[in-house]
A and B are shown apart, each in its own frame.
Chain A
Amino acid sequence: MRQRRAHPAFAVFWWLVLLFLYLPLAVVVLFSFNAINSAATFAGFSLRWYVSLFSNDAVIHAFYNSMVLALSSSVIALVLGTFLGYGLYRHRGRRMGWLIVLIYLPIVMPDVVFGISDMTFFVRLNSMFGILKPGMLTMIISHVTFELPFVALLIYARFVNLDAALFDASKDLYAGPIKRALYFVIPAIKPALVAGFFLAFTLSFDDFVISFFTSGPESATLPIYIWGAIRRGISPDINAIGSLMIAAVLVAALISLIFTLKSRKREGNLN
């Protein structure tokens, strides 16, 4: 395809938009190194807010909760979502209207309504039967619910891109279902499994609204802690936590970039 040329004004606009996108993040990072407790004036470089994070039990506990929640919910979502994606693929000839509605429901439902529905439901169950007290367990359940469709759609997309003849070939080799899964299906969709896990993990780690409504007093995650700290007006250490979370995202972005460029190169070599 012929290369298009854009007017130089587009380049100027591009850099302005990048400034708009990164300025709020840059401010958080900058003030995390502030020597004084101020969000308006920068009074010299200091690491005091980072140091104070490591002695802050509430922050460490919130980080631990975030990790437990993200890990356990994304493992469950990965297992359920893989089966769902596989089922959707093998039965894609059927009309599965209701199933499709079910899969899209967690994606389109406003997260406030999602969180409140689950919260009222769990509170009700708890008062009636004494089960599902709001806390880590209820958060994990809700997180699996919103991660599941994303994982399933990723796995489904991977299956669609596979050559369908491979399935028949593996059957022709008289492999049993377990062997087929272990030696054929799982290796074939491995990239999607990895991507699905990381997507679910990120969605969970990042989520605030649904966690906020389904959490209990002991199960605050990092975003909930930050929210509370903003609400109480205690802000200096928020910048430090925020900067660490931004750094984690940048590392993830770098890794995904390297993977994309690598796989492009591989495709380029094949052609």
Chain B
Amino acid sequence: MSNISSPASRGSAVLHLLWTTGPSAAWITLFLVLPSLYLVSMAFLTNGTYGQPEMPLSVDSFRQLAGYGFLGWSPGNLYTLLRSLYYTLFSTALTVLVAYPIAYYISTARPSLRVVMLLAIVVPSWTNQVIRAFGWMNLLAPGTPISTLASWLGLASPELGLYPSSFAVMLGLVYNFLPFMVLPLYSAFEKLDMSQLEAARDLYASPLRAFFAAILPQTLPGLLAGLVLVMIPAFGMYVVPELLGGGRAMMIGNLVATQFADGSNWPYGAAGSILMLAATLLGIWLLRRLGRRLGGGEEVVI
């Protein structure tokens, strides 16, 4: 259909392509590409009196982002960046650790039951993320049973409880993104060839060894797809650190958003946005490259 050769019909094919995809492409260009280009260019302007960007061109915003202020260099922003990376990596690792046994367990259930089990995993993520975070605020606040138990075990001080804290942020991240790791891993487990695992067992491989030799290589495409779905949005997370973290557990998304809300320094915030966009693209590029190298191939196309 699309490889029609006469010039007239090729012209009409181009026309067809234009009127079917053109409106959407124009919409996204006008309302997302142009705005983000505007935001990127804003980073090179000067911060005006009312927090609005003004001429002349400058790279002040990037100096500020790097931590240079009126009082010289301070490591605050560097800490925020490192903290975002640390939260992202740690919570992703936890998500993987929880998702593997769950995905495997679902794949061993009766087929009619699997639908219900997958739904049970996904349903909490359908509820609004602000409400989910609020639920955790109620669970972890000082004086609640969980906080009391934690302070009794010496894990938290009784006055402060478990929220707001770094712990609460990472818990919130795992909670948010677990389904996005379970689903791709499950579809990998569904196709798993169990004879490899049985062979490993017959050769008296330890469970750990059997996992790395027989299960990990086969579920790798699912794992990489899950990593894209978890790590990239976790790094840019706004709601969870804002509600569960308090001031000391700020992530990069909060740093950026503050500049547009109460901080009102748009060029500075725009420079932070560029950093977030760069990190997103770098993350996707790295994971795709890893996918190709490890033989996941084009299945890891997000």
Contact = CB atoms under 8 A, between A and B. Distances in A.
Contacts of B266: 120
A93 B253 CA distance: 39
B24 A22 contact: no
Interface in A105-135: 105-114, 116-122, 124
B64 to A, nearest CB: 17
Interface stretch (A48-56, A57-65, A83-91, A188-196): A83-91
Interface string B6-20: 000000010011011
A47 interface: no
Contacts of A148: 24, 27-28
Given A80-B23, A124-B38, A10 B105 contact: yes
A24 B20 contact: no
Nearest to B32: A145
A116 B273 contact: yes
A260 B33 contact: no
A245 interface: yes
B276 interface: yes
B58 interface: no
Contacts of B98: 17
A118 B32 contact: yes
A266 interface: no
B130 A223 contact: yes
Interface of B: 1-3, 13, 16-17, 19-21, 23-25, 27-29, 31-36, 38-39, 42, 98, 101-102, 104-105, 107-108, 110, 112, 115-117, 119-121, 123-124, 126-132, 134-139, 141, 143-144, 175, 178, 194, 232-233, 235-236, 238-239, 243, 253, 256-257, 260, 266, 269-270, 273, 276-277, 280, 284, 302
Given A17-B178, A261-B112, 4 more contacts: A39-B144, A114-B36, A121-B39, A223-B130
6 contacts: A13-B102, A25-B131, A40-B144, A105-B32, A116-B260, A260-B115
